[in-house]
A = this chain, B = another copy of it.
Amino acid sequence: MIEKSQPVLGSTNRKVDADGIQRFASVIGLKAEFEHQYRELHANVWPSVLKRIEQSNIRNYSIYTMIILGENYLFSYFEYIGSDFETDMALMANDPIVQKWWNETDKCQNKIINNQPHEHWSVMEKVFFQNIK
């Protein structure tokens, strides 16, 4: 019998991809009653938040929404181009404007229950990557 959670690692399943970029895709629940507010916030993200994202070496960042089995979810994708992810994320988490922003967005979200209790967004495991220059 195959162990369900056994990773199959190949050239396409690396933490840092061949182009030196770390790709992150994550998921979180979206409270249906806050969907409108979440969309409004993200149609006009505060400039200081965008600036902090840039300074923390995040690029090509997009967020999507989808209903699965009657529940609303958010999916995010971004690329990390720096060399010290933890420090860059700590700089973001310690920024007072980001904290105010997260106070707004946290209200809209429902964490997904998994085995990473410290996570807010749940980071997914990459199983494939292809890029062509």
Contacts and interface: CB of A to CB of B under 8 A. Distances in A.
Interface of A: 2, 4, 6-13, 23, 25, 27, 32, 35-36, 38-40, 42-45, 50, 53-54, 59-69, 71, 73-75, 77, 112, 114, 122, 124-132
Given A25-B62, A62-B25, A35 B130 contact: no
Given A32-B4, A36-B6, A65 B130 contact: no
Contacts of A59: 131-132
Quickly give the copy total for this chain: 2
B42 A10 contact: yes
Given A10-B44, A68-B73, A127 B25 contact: no
Contacts of A114: 67
